[in-house]
Amino acid sequence: MIPEKCVSETNDSRISLNDKQSVSAIFLNPGRVLHRCIRFDGCVVKNKTACDWILEKPGVGRIVVELKGRDVPHAIEQVEAGLNHLKDIGMRELKLAALIVCTRYSSHPTFTTSMQKAKNKLAKIHKARLHITKDGRDLNFEALLNSSS
């Protein structure tokens, strides 16, 4: 399972997930509902390919989060590794989505063929929607979990 030392709980109105390179994903939580923030890379998984975070809204869903500067293909591998780990430890009962925040990507990757293939693969294999964005501010958990883009 997930070691407790890797999990923090918050009901803050703005839930911020950060990395060492000052890339962040900030989720709005106006209802101040409890969320679980799971530090994945370097805590749950060490010395292997892994996503940075998993944000869980208990009873609703989980979003696998990778915070990247520019290497989107590697970020996709890290997101997939996170989804595979959830499957391996039996944590696939909730709805899933994946988010990559890539702040220094030269052109928006959502419309490229390789990104579309990655989105289709994650949807088919993991039943998870993949979202790639340059702006990790003011994110809506439910919108990411339920939208098709």
| Domains of the chain by residue range | 4-146
Measured between alpha carbons, how far is 146 from 103 in angstroms, rounded to an integer? 23
pLDDT of residue 57: 96
CA-closest candidate to residue 48, choices 84, 16, 17, 96? 84
Q: Convert the pLDDT of each residue in 93-123 to its tens digit.
A: 889 999 999 887 655 544 577 788 888 999 9
Q: 48: pLDDT confidence band, cut at 50, 70 and 90?
A: very high
**Does residue 49 surpass a pLDDT of 80?**
yes
Integer-rounded Cα Rg, in Å, for the chain is 14
Q: Convert the pLDDT of each residue in 3-26 to its tens digit.
A: 999 999 999 999 999 987 778 999
Using CA atoms, how far residue 57 sits from 50, 60, 61, 62, in Å, is 20, 5, 6, 6
